[in-house]
Each structure stands twice: as structure tokens, then as C-alpha cells.
Amino acid sequence: MELANRLTNITGGGSDGWGVFYRARRMIDAGVAVTELTIGEHDTRTNSDILNAMHQAAIGGHTGYAEVPGTARLRNAVAERISTRTGVPTTAENILITPGGQAGLFAAHNAVCDTGDTALYIDPYYATYPGTIRSVGAMAQPIVTSPDTGFQPTKSAIETAAPGAKSLLINSPNNPTGTVYAAPVLNDIAAVCKSHDLWLISDEVYDTQIWEGSHISPRSLPGMAERTLVVGSMSKSHAMTGSRVGWVCGPEHVINHLITLATHTTYGVPGFIQDAATFALGQGTAPEDAVAAPFRRRRELTLKALAGQNVVRAVPAQGAMYVMLDIRATGLSGEDFANALLDAEQIAVMPGESFGQGALGHVRVAMTIDDDSYVAALQKLVNFAKNHAGAE
Ligand code: PMP
């Protein structure tokens, strides 16, 4: 019996640069002490006040089917948050609550792409992007950015890819590069979207993790609210990755259709999880700052650890919980470097190749272990790179 191509083609096949990740997992299972710097998972857990709110909601009976679009309280809380942060008047009718940002990305592409449509995304990219696009039957087309521009997309590259495309997916602050898109870049993106009639899908799940510059939501740019779908999440901002709660924010008519999609797919998000998210958002920015603080600190520690040598160079991480390291001076590919580092030092990092073509010769380090272990691992990584550069 044949399965649907739409399903079997999601991963695209071939080597995807995740070999190092799976090898590290196998070593850990076999009892090897591997320093894991691969995945974007906080080293702190969900705050106990949020868990208490979840518990109270569940004990209080919010365990039946919840409203499919999201509870009125959470939709209002998200709308208020977005209005405050971006200045764009936003109401509950602009919000669909989803089981995490990933479900939001899927819903957003479902909303705007028909089978065979071209959907653009920026490379280096978050691992699921091309698969998410393919899972709605669309064609995933990357726009490759370069370390020379700090991985900011250029107008000419977007303009070249735009004709005939249906949508453009962007992500700032960016996973994997840590790039925060500057105002002129976002203005260029908006201009191309308007002139080529593209939907813009803006993944803003790292919007609370900004180390340099400021976060601008492209939905706030002139003429963009009607063609932008913003994907947000409680995962990164509140260390609630396992709770699976996020949202899509967009024009009311799009959200109405997405509510229909949710009715036929997820049937909503558990009520007690939504109540916990409502509670968390009600606490203002202090919990978000607390969750972001370790990454802000470790980003500084990274810069210190890399100072005084130029074999390993950090792409200036302006946001998010990762740093992208340029290891081209070693003469190794990102994949060879990551494999050799895993063997020599039992340190697992992600090869740039896992995130597309733009980050060849780079590795991504997740700043997700305690400060001392993190600095020690970076020092080993630098020494390892220096030895290799010397040996070339
Ligand atoms: N977008 C980006 C850029 C991410 O890094 C992630 C998670 N790593 C997601 C979306 C999805 O997150 P979640 O589904 O947990 O909200």
C-alpha cells in the first residue's frame, strides 16, 4: 500500500546534517558523559507559580474540551501583549491559540499555500521549516543568506526569489544564527511582500530574547498587518516548551478560517494549559526577563571566551539562545568539525549544514548548560579548533 507523497516527502530525504546529533544521543545512552550543546531547550524548568496555576486550573475542572480558538482570557491576554509590544491594535479576533509555535507554522502555511505553491524561507533556517512547508503540499524554496551580511537577507535576494511565490517565512531573532533583523532589512522585506503580493509569515518565538538592537514585528510596518501572520509561543519566553501552547496572530478573516482548520485537526489546546499561559502572561515581563537572563549572560561569556584569538569567530549573536561559530579557519566543514569535536572532547554541537547552505563551515552552540560547564566547553572547543588550524 502506497502512502501519500505529501507525507513521505516531508523530510526531503538525503543527509541532513543531523548525524552528529543522533550519534551524541547514542553515546549518552551508552553512558558516555557528553556535553550537550545541540538543542534549544532551557536548562531551567517551567516556573513553579505557572505550574501551580496549571494545577489549580486542572483541579478546578478545566479538563474538558476547551474552546477551539482558545479561551477568551488567553486570546485577550495574547492580543494585549501584542498590542503593547508592537503598537498594532490587536483583539482576541486576531488570535488563534495553537499547540505551540510549530502548530502555528503549520496552520499559517495551510492558510496561504495551495498544493504546488512556492513558499520561500530564509536559510540558515530552523530545522522544521522546509518540512512544514512540504507538509501542506507547497514547494519549499530557500533564500540563502551569508555570514558576510551577518545572515541578514538582502533585498536583491528576496526580490529575485519573489516572482510567482506565495509566501515568505522569516524568523527574527533567528534560530540558528542569533541574527535580529535590522529596521532597513524589515522595510525591504515589507516592500518586496507588497510589490509581489506575498504573504509574510513571521516567526517571533524568540521575541523576548534580544541582546542587541530591538525586536521589530513586521506586522507593525505600513500596509503589513493585512498580509502578515505572526507565529508566537510560550515555549521560549516562559520555558514552557513541553506545555505546547502558542498562537497565530493575523487578520480576523484568516483567523476564522484557521479556527475551522483547528476544529478539524487539533481541536484546541487543553484548558488547564491555557489557564497557566494566561497566568504567566498576567505576570508581565519579569518572568520573561528571568528566563532570558542566563542566555544574555552566556552570550557575554561566549564573547569573553573567544577574545584574543581568531580561529573561532562568533557571528554576533543579537538574540535567541544560540551562537553560531565560524570555524572555517580550521579548514574543516561544520559537520567534520562537529564529529571530530564529539570524538575528541565529547562535546556535541550542531553542524551549520543542519540548517541549510548559508552556514557551511559553522557550528551552532546552544547556550543551554550552566555557566561554568558552558565556558569550559567553549575553551575546549577553541583549543580543539586551534590545534586543527595549526595542523592544516
Ligand atoms: N520556531 C523556531 C525558530 C524555533 O526555534 C522553535 C522551537 N525550537 C519553534 C518555532 C517551535 O517552538 P514551539 O512549537 O515549542 O513553540
Q: What is the pLDDT of residue 14?
A: 53
For residue 244, the ligand 1 atom closest to its alpha carbon is 15
233 CB near ligand 1 (under 6 Å)? yes
How much is the mean pLDDT over the chain?
Answer: 95
Q: What is the pLDDT of residue 15?
A: 57
Q: What is the pLDDT of residues 101-151, one digit of tens each?
A: 999 999 999 999 999 999 999 999 999 999 999 999 999 999 999 999 999
pLDDT band at residue 13 under the 50/70/90 scheme? low
Query: Which is higher by pLDDT, 19 or 363?
Result: 363
202 CB near ligand 1 (under 6 Å)? no
pLDDT(18) > 70: yes
241 CB near ligand 1 (under 6 Å)? yes
Q: What is the pLDDT of residues 70-79, one digit of tens each?
A: 999 999 999 9
Q: What is the pLDDT of residue 389?
A: 85
Q: What is the pTM of this model?
A: 0.96
Torsion of CA 350, 355, 361, 363, to 10 degrees: -20
For residue 171, the ligand 1 atom closest to its alpha carbon is 3
40 CB near ligand 1 (under 6 Å)? yes
145 CB near ligand 1 (under 6 Å)? no
Q: What is the pLDDT of residues 275-328, one digit of tens each?
A: 999 999 999 999 999 999 999 999 999 999 999 999 999 988 899 999 999 999
pLDDT(59) > 80: yes
Q: What is the pLDDT of residue 16?
A: 67
pLDDT band at residue 12 under the 50/70/90 scheme? confident
Q: What is the pLDDT of residue 40?
A: 82
pLDDT band at residue 391 under the 50/70/90 scheme? low
pLDDT(181) > 60: yes
Percent of the chain with pLDDT over 90: 92
Angstrom distance (rounded) from CA 366 to CA 197: 36
Q: What is the pLDDT of residue 156?
A: 96
Residue to substitute in 126, 237, 295 for testing ligand 1 pocket (most ligand atoms within 8 angstroms of CB): 126
173 CB near ligand 1 (under 6 Å)? no
Ligand 1 centroid, distance to 146 Cα (angstroms): 22
368 CB near ligand 1 (under 6 Å)? no
130 CB near ligand 1 (under 6 Å)? no
For residue 246, the ligand 1 atom closest to its alpha carbon is 16
- Residue range 146-165: average pLDDT? 96
126 CB near ligand 1 (under 6 Å)? yes
pLDDT(346) > 60: yes
pLDDT(258) > 80: yes
pLDDT band at residue 11 under the 50/70/90 scheme? confident
pLDDT(39) > 90: no
Q: What is the pLDDT of residue 234?
A: 98
pLDDT(245) > 90: yes
